[in-house]
Amino acid sequence: MQLNPQERINIKRLRTDVIAKHVVTLFGLLVLAMFLLIIIHMLSNAMPLLKTPKLQFSNSVAIQTLSPVLSVQQMGDEVISISQHNCKVVLNKADSASSQTVAEFHHPCASSFMPVNNEQGYETNYAMLRENGLVEIFSINHLSTSFERRLVGSFDISDFAQVKASYGVSNAQWTIDKYNNNVVVYTQIDRQRMVVIWHQLNQLEAASIQIVEQVESFKPLPRFKQAIVVYQGQSVLVNQLGETLQLLNDNTSTSAKILSTPNQRTVFVPTQEGALEVWRSINVDGDFRMVRATQIQHSEVLIPEHAVFDRQTMLGLISNSENQLFIFNSATNEIVNQQSSEHPIDYLHWHNQQLFIFSGSDVHIYTLQNSAGITTWKSLFSKVQYAGYESEQYIWQTSQSAEYAETKFSLVPLIIGSLKASVLALFVAIPLALGGAIYTAYFASARLRSWVKPSIEMIEAIPSVIIGFVAAVWLAPFAERSLIALLGTLVFLPGIVILMAALHGYLKQSEFYLAWEKYYLVAASLLFLILLAGVFQLTSLLQLLMFSGNTSDAGLVIADLTISKTTVVVALALGIAVAPTIYSLVDDALFEVPDGVKHASFALGATELQTLVKVVLVVALPSIISAIMLGLGRAFGETMIVLMVTGNTPIADWDLLSGLRSLTSNLTIELQESSVDSAHYHILFLTAVILFAFTFAINTVAALLKRRLQSASKDV
């Protein structure tokens, strides 16, 4: 059966429609799939923050030495154990590959080996104490295939023979702590007395000898020329002269072993209740004092023995007398995991995400897994007491000024920065957008609207980097030069509006309005702009008079005020960028209000202004609110303007004259510099998730609110 031409055309159109439907559906599904993949990618890169860090046993290595290990230190990327045997100092390499003797250095047999606690760098040090009281400190360097020893400093202990005879320390085990050139040598005389010797290398002054009485525990802090002494259950901070500087704790366990971070900015003092009090060093007018940060509350910590810390993250590990290991966040001091060691722990050493447990002549190597999980919710969203800060603060600072400085990952400054910029931008965008939309949709003629609306919408197509560039190059310097003038204009603006309203009420009843009604709105707008410019010029002249030759305190304070690179400038620039988006949506909402509704209002005797306020704005209110919320989401997600104008200072306050850093600009700055799979990397993806969640929530609330208001208006 042959089909007629019309049937062929209908079949062809049907096939075309079916194919087009499937193609459109396919591309729609592809868009949804791409959107879903982006969400999954963000969540998968943020999920490692929720995993618990744990130590996984790797292997064991036997150290080829005939004597006990006396010290463990880091030499470049190699872990070196130091022991003494037959008048020689023996160095053994202890890593996952091998453990052979790499160097031997001869010393007089009468000399005593002293382990050097030098944890602030990658140098390998040890010291020798000769019979005559000469202390020699050596550094070992690995050059190509050989190990070389170098004398870095030496000093005499005055009257060393008398000290040995008086206090019976001939065979005592001396220990030396070193931080740069500050050195302290000490030994235990008996259960309650210690000999402590302070010295600074490369200085001609003789070493000072002190006898510390009634001491139960002693922890030197040579970096600050201070020490923490425990006696009679009290922890006291003293200087190198033995003078008491500060009482830390009057409830300290008598068997306490005080631990510290390698940079000596944080110390851990055990209490009788089984907790570890954390004290951090701060600088008060040039004097270093301790401020109590928090406690590590864990009944199973018992008596701490050893502690190691990662150089670049918040990871810390503590072992106790029961050979238990506690992984904790060194910034917030929260224990995130606990494990038991199958081997006795003589020393702990941490390097390159590996824990070295020295047990006799064996080294047991554990690898850390899920290291990003050391980040806790408290470190992200709560105030933290950091070393060097007198109080708890929100801080975002991923770059370290020194090793073992806590990385600071508080997201609060970034969230505050984004909210501050976007909310203040609405104060600029809403009056501009709403006023322009009311004029073009309600008062302007159709011909004028056809010119003005596309012109304003074209601003939305301008790249945000251009707006940011103009704001940084022109707006910021202009705002800085005209601070008083801008503030004065804002102060007088309500008065100008009231004056214009009163003048409008008077002119509306005069014959002038009837004669010039066609040009009245343009004339009123020009008059408003002239008054605004006049006030700005008068306040600028006032500012010039205030500063010319003014040396008063008030004048100097005002002269020092600037708003360059601050929230005010970014609010202006961001508000101008967001205004076209809100304007376009509000204009369409107002213009689509049915004419019959307006005419009904006019028929009841309402004026244009009354119709606008009581009818048009009420009908279009759901769309107006939705447009404002969409503008808020647009401002919250803006990147380049905030990046170029704010100065990028992550400050957690609402001061309008301070800088800020938003979540978006932070991602732009730091994502390319973060190491893959590091905590920093995963936290940046968490900020991306927060951005997505906020914009998704804003858009969802806007849609639901619009639907609810529209249904409510229909019911009415």
524, with CB counted inside 10 A (0-12, 13-18, 19+), is middle
Distance of CA 203 to the CA centre of its chain: 41
Query: Does residue 334 sit within a domain?
Result: no
What is the predicted pLDDT for the residue at 556? 43
Residue 546 has pLDDT above 70, yes or no: no
Q: Return all residues near 183 (Cβ < 8 A) that are at least 6 apart.
A: 135, 137, 153, 155, 176, 177, 198, 199, 200, 201, 222
Query: Does residue 249 sit within a domain?
Result: no
Whole-model pTM? 0.84
Residue pLDDT, tens place only, 19-44: 888 899 999 899 999 989 999 999 99
Q: Which residues pair with 73 in a beta bridge?
A: 80
What is the predicted pLDDT for the residue at 560? 47
Query: Does residue 66 sit within a domain?
Result: no
What is the predicted pLDDT for the residue at 689? 92
Task: State the Cα–Cα distance between residues 167 and 209, nearest whole angstrom.
Answer: 13
Residue 562 has pLDDT above 70, yes or no: no
Confidence of residue 415 (pLDDT cuts 50, 70, 90): very high
Query: Does residue 672 sit within a domain?
Result: yes
Distances (CA, A) of 123 to 77, 90, 254, 293, 622: 11, 16, 34, 31, 68
* Cβ atoms of residues 452 and 440 within 8 Å: yes
Residue pLDDT, tens place only, 70-82: 778 777 777 888 8
Residue 482 has pLDDT above 60, yes or no: yes
Instruction: Find tokens 């140098």 and name the residue.
Output: 123
Where is pLDDT greater, at 356 or 709?
Answer: 356
Where is pLDDT greater, at 168 or 16?
Answer: 16
Where is pLDDT greater, at 18 or 300?
Answer: 18
Residue pLDDT, tens place only, 200-236: 887 777 777 777 877 888 889 888 888 888 888 888 8
Query: Does residue 56 sit within a domain?
Result: no
Where is pLDDT greater, at 700 or 549?
Answer: 700
Residue 559 has pLDDT above 60, yes or no: no
Residue pLDDT, tens place only, 358-397: 887 788 889 999 988 899 899 999 888 888 888 888 989 8
Residue 703: give its domain's CATH number.
1.10.3720.10
Instruction: Find tokens 């292997």 and name the residue.
Output: 59
Query: Does residue 587 sit within a domain?
Result: yes
What is the predicted pLDDT for the residue at 119? 55
Residue pLDDT, tens place only, 87-125: 888 888 877 566 678 888 888 887 888 888 765 556 678
Query: Does residue 496 sit within a domain?
Result: yes
Task: Record the tokens describing residue 463, joined without a space.
Answer: 């790249």
Total domain count for the chain? 1
Q: Domain of residue 624: give its range.
A: 412-715
Query: Does residue 478 sit within a domain?
Result: yes
Pairing of strands 408-409, 259-260: unpaired
Task: Tally DSSP H helices, then E strands, for the chain.
Answer: 19, 30
Where is pLDDT greater, at 712 or 610?
Answer: 610
3-state secondary structure of 95: coil
Distances (CA, A) of 103 to 106, 126, 142, 293: 10, 14, 10, 43
